[in-house]
Amino acid sequence: VMDFIHVLEYLWKAAWCLFKKDDPEVEDWIEKRATEVLRGNASQVAKGLGVSATKRKLKQREGIDKCIGYLLKNKSRLEYGKALEQGFPIASGVIEGACRHLINDRLDITGARWSLEGAEAILKLRSLRSSGDLEKYWEYHKKQSKQRLYGC
């Protein structure tokens, strides 16, 4: 199963061949085509893109042609309905990016050696900081420590 985020990237490339950068209709256009791909109609979306570009006699259609090629080349891996029925993820790119931000950017430093406990502590703090919850957590932590050490 191809990551659905990649499909969206190609659809946006195609959209910018058809719409001006400030056109408010572009998001509805993307939503309709993305929904069709999710329904298993990648070939029909590709065909529609080609017809639209030909009818408009577009000279700048590289984004459309790349999108068409991507959809047709990968149509057997764009069966999202089946994937979801079987419990497979269809958009893991966001998760991969978050993991890269939280883990690789901090723990994958040349020469660094981490114990399991130390790595876990750093990752917890880094995720709290990234989420914007570090200050709230720190107040909670101090209250819990005071409760544990001194009681009521």
Kindly report, residue by residue over 23-32, the tens digit of the pLDDT: 999 999 999 9
Predicted confidence at residue 104, as pLDDT, reads: 80
Whether residues 76 and 11 share a domain: the answer is: yes
Residue 95 has pLDDT above 90, yes or no: no
Domain edge (last residue) among 68, 86, 104: 86
Domain containing residue 38: 4-86
Whether residues 64 and 104 share a domain: the answer is: no
Whether residues 77 and 30 share a domain: the answer is: yes
Whether residues 79 and 20 share a domain: the answer is: yes
pLDDT band at 74 (very low <50, low <70, confident <90, very high): very high
Q: Where are the beta strands (DSSP E) in the chain?
A: none
Predicted confidence at residue 134, as pLDDT, reads: 94
Whether residues 30 and 62 share a domain: the answer is: yes
Q: Answer yes or no: are the C-beta atoms of 67 and 10 closer than 8 Å.
A: yes
d(CA 108, CA 125): 16
Whether residues 74 and 123 share a domain: the answer is: no
Whether residues 103 and 43 share a domain: the answer is: no
Predicted confidence at residue 103, as pLDDT, reads: 81
Whether residues 11 and 74 share a domain: the answer is: yes
Report pLDDT digits (tens) over 31-50: 999 999 999 999 999 999 99
d(CA 150, CA 144): 10
Whether residues 8 and 34 share a domain: the answer is: yes
The sign of the torsion formed by the CA atoms of 139, 141, 146, 152 equals positive
Q: How many domains does the chain have?
A: 2
Whether residues 31 and 66 share a domain: the answer is: yes
Domain edge (last residue) among 59, 86, 113: 86
Report pLDDT digits (tens) over 117-132: 988 998 899 889 989 9
pLDDT band at 144 (very low <50, low <70, confident <90, very high): very high
Domain edge (last residue) among 86, 117, 142: 86
The sign of the torsion formed by the CA atoms of 27, 33, 37, 38 equals positive
Whether residues 69 and 123 share a domain: the answer is: no
Predicted confidence at residue 42, as pLDDT, reads: 96
Whether residues 77 and 12 share a domain: the answer is: yes
pLDDT band at 93 (very low <50, low <70, confident <90, very high): confident
